[in-house]
Amino acid sequence: MNNADILQKVQQIIHQSCGIELADIHPNATLFDELSIDSIDMVDILFNLEREYEIELKISEIERYSRDEMGDEPFEIDHVITPKGLEVLKKRLPEIDHSKLVTGIGIHDIVRLITVQSLTNMVQTQIEKKG
Amino acid sequence: MNLELNDKVVLITGAGGAIGQAIAHSFLEEGAVVLVGYRSNPQKIMQWTSTLSEAHQSRVFPVSIDLNEPLKHGETVSKIVAEHAQIDVLVNCAGAAIEKPFLILEEGEMEQQMHDNFLGHIKFTKHVLKHMFLQKSGAIVNISSILGAQFGRGVTVYASAKAAIERFSQALALEVGKKGIRVNCVCPGMIASKMTNELQRNMPPELMQMSPIQRTGTPQEVADAVLFLSSNSRASYITGTSIAVNGGLGI
């Protein structure tokens, strides 16, 4: 399944779950800040994508995989992402606006960086893992 | 009043007790499909559901649900949805009290009480809720107790768990209302049942005189409140609330 098809489905599900006009659901729009999707709508979107593709989706996996990739080096200190952690995130999330990945941002800010395209990529990764 | 519960799929945990049985029977009378959750006495449950099934055209199904085995919840709920397509109403009715002064209650007994009366319910609810979320509709009714707000000597942890389930119902109602799901509570007072009879030993003897209606309630009177709150046509604007079915005890 190609990325463009998945993106279209992600946009449709966001539209159905949140009532946002399809035209406003740009691939680069951040889910929480720009589209104003709240946490319950986010759950709804994830459940629908899980059902559609028979996969499991966890937003927290972005952080978990980044930590795993860093081995013994700290990903964060007192919840603030380290400079090396920011580099790993840039590689893991090439689609997001990297000007937002600045020194001082915390682990709880990661979720706010996620865009429609990030979600699409997560779905594609899980589909590929499933085989 | 037509509750429009005909053909609704209703799942009741702890349906083997007196209140659970009255609830199951009442839903069947309304034409619902009833999944009777039980943990113990399978023979008694099979016998009872088989009798009910004859009277209600095979619309009653026993389901083994052990709230102490959360790893099985996902499979249990998926199986129900596969067979019945949806779950419209969840009634969390399971519960068990250990009656002992707090100072001699073992730690394991405290944890068991919290699990039997609170944690087990919310873990199970999470699995059912996921399907209601996808359906964009559903009603959850949790059975709490008057002990969640008053009395409770000898059953401190049970009373605390009942308070917790009531507060959980309110907070969850806030989260899921926009997805078409309502969450409410029914808080029975002194109801003629085996469990109440046992708990009554630690209640003031003049309790019935303190109640305006001056008698114990019946399981059917609890069931009537549950059915009303479950009805999307009659209780459509009611969520996050509790109905006290206690004859006015404590007012």
For CA atoms B169, B173, B175, B176, the dihedral sign is positive
Q: Which of B145, B158, B188, B196 is catalytic?
A: B158
CA dist A3 and A52 (Å) reads 15
Q: Does B176 touch chain A (CB under 8 A)?
A: yes
Residues of chain A contacting B130 with CB distance shorter than 8 Å: 47
* Contact flag A48-B178 (C-beta cutoff 8 Å): no
> Taking Cα atoms as reference points, which of B117, B125, B119 lies closest to residue B195?
B117
Beta-sheet strands, E only, within chain B: 9-13, 33-38, 60-64, 89-92, 138-143, 181-188, 242-245
Residue pLDDT, tens place only, B73-126:
999 999 999 999 999 999 999 999 999 999 999 999 999 999 999 999 999 999
Which residue ranges of chain B lie beneath pLDDT 70?
A: 195-205
Q: Which residues of A touch B134 (CB under 8 A)?
A: 47-48, 51
Say what the pLDDT of residue B199 is: 63
What global pTM score does this model have?
0.89
Catalytic, B158? Answer: yes
What is the ipTM metric for this complex?
0.77
Q: Which residues of B touch A47 (CB under 8 A)?
A: 130, 133-134
Tens of pLDDT, residues A21-74: 999 999 999 999 999 999 899 999 999 999 999 999 988 888 888 888 888 899
Q: Are B12 and B91 in contact (CB under 8 A)?
A: yes
What percent helix, strand, coil does chain B show, rounded to 5?
A: 50, 15, 35
Q: With an 8 Å Cβ cutoff, are A40 and B134 in contact?
A: no
Going from the C-alpha of B83 to that of each of A19, B28, B196, the distances in angstroms are 31, 18, 35
Give B-chain residues touching A44 at CB under 8 angstroms. 133, 179
User: Distance, in angstroms, between A50 CA and closest chain B CA?
Assistant: 11
- Which of B134, B176, B178 is nearest residue A48 as measured by Cβ atoms? B134
CA distance A94 to chain B (A): 31
